[in-house]
Structure 1
Amino acid sequence: MAKKQNERKGTKTNAVSLVTLIDPSSPIAEQYRTIRTNIQFASSADKPIKTIVVTSSGPGEGKSTTAANLAVVFANSGQRVLLVDADMRKPTIFKSFHLSNAIGLSTVLSTIQSISEAAQKTEINNLSILTSGPKPPNPSELLGSARMDQFLAEARNLYDIIIFDMPPVVAVTDAQIMASKADGTILVVRENVSRKESLTKAKGLLHMVQAKVLGVVYNCAENAKDQGYYYYYGN
């Protein structure tokens, strides 16, 4: 049933490229490690960055690719990482890691099932993944619920870093809701795809909920020596 739903017109998603896993010595993989380092430097003892929202202004800008590869490089550094596919409308992560999506975030938020029961371990040391789960009728309500606050408290006790792959912030309210709860937010921009007016609106929406924007990941720059190079601009 889930497969049929995902393949309906306008909802089909594809697996993302895990360059940090396939080619860890590549320039792009090194850029992800640079982003990881910048996030670590932005963290402090009194304000640690443990929960990170990854979003974009619109579709097709690389947010899921960024979230997945960041999760890999954080796990490779020895930290316990939970990658959460919080894009319950158009999930991608389960395809990229070849996992079942029978249970996931929607299950945990709507039942008494715990994170440890629903999260799936991967072949990568220290990396666990909570897929989106069955598509719920009310994703934004689930994310804004008291159960989500309990989820965050539980996840903080189990993992060092929790990364949320969110829907585009301009399209729906999901990313705004989670950005207001997370320690930091990363906005992904894609050259020749992201629109200036959408980026301006995305910035305003994140500012409205007092999100801590850690920086912008700018990908697929045509003038880069290696096309697909990622840059990170911190605040």
Structure 2
Amino acid sequence: MRKRSWSNAHVASQTIRLTLLIGFLINIHILIGFNINISPMTNQPICHSGGRPGLYRKISSLFNLIVFGSVPSLCMLFFGSLTLRQIDRKNDFQIIIGTYTKKVRKIRKSERQLTRMLLVQVLIYSTTGLMFTIAFIILAKNSNRQKTIVDIAKENLIIAIVGMLSNTGPCSSFYLFTLSSKRFRKELKRPFRRFVQRQIQIQMSNCNSWATPVDSTIRESNIPKNIL
């Protein structure tokens, strides 16, 4: 099977489904390791943000460091570099040295922009992902310490803030390509245009369905009564 055969919409959709399934299976331990307990000091329900204190929290922090902090950034850098190298080879094959100087400069400029975009994506994702996992590791080290409900609330607040910041990594690709790529913006506008056109067609069909009985009523009213 040729490599080019993998580059199609069907393979992409199947890969997305497989990724969602793997992501669900990876995080299924949360249903087992996270419990809502009753604090003996206040008799109020509490939930530790990092999971049960002890061995599970330490394993979970290392798991987050590998799965969410390191692997995605390395995969982005690896596959992104392969993509850029393939683009560079394709351009070198198409361009004849010494001709079309403006075209060559434009292509090289696009390659530099793609490289910068890749590095920015990896930097943002790795920074936010490592920030999230480091917070989990720090909380895991302090899991054996006796804590009040205020301390647990502070930990939950820290995890909530760091977790919200970690979402900027996966979302940065969308905004980065939207701001920098004219073609991406064009493809993004296409479904919205289709939706608007579909709504206009529905409204026009509804107007026509309402106008038909009204027109027939007007025609009947114009007929003389002696004929009826």
Identify the TM-score tier after normalising by the shorter chain: under 0.3
Structure with greater Cα Rg: 2
TM-score by length of 1: 0.21
Flag the structure with higher strand content: 1
The structure showing larger relative contact order (alpha-carbon pairs under 8 Å, at least 6 residues apart) is 1
TM-score by length of 2: 0.22
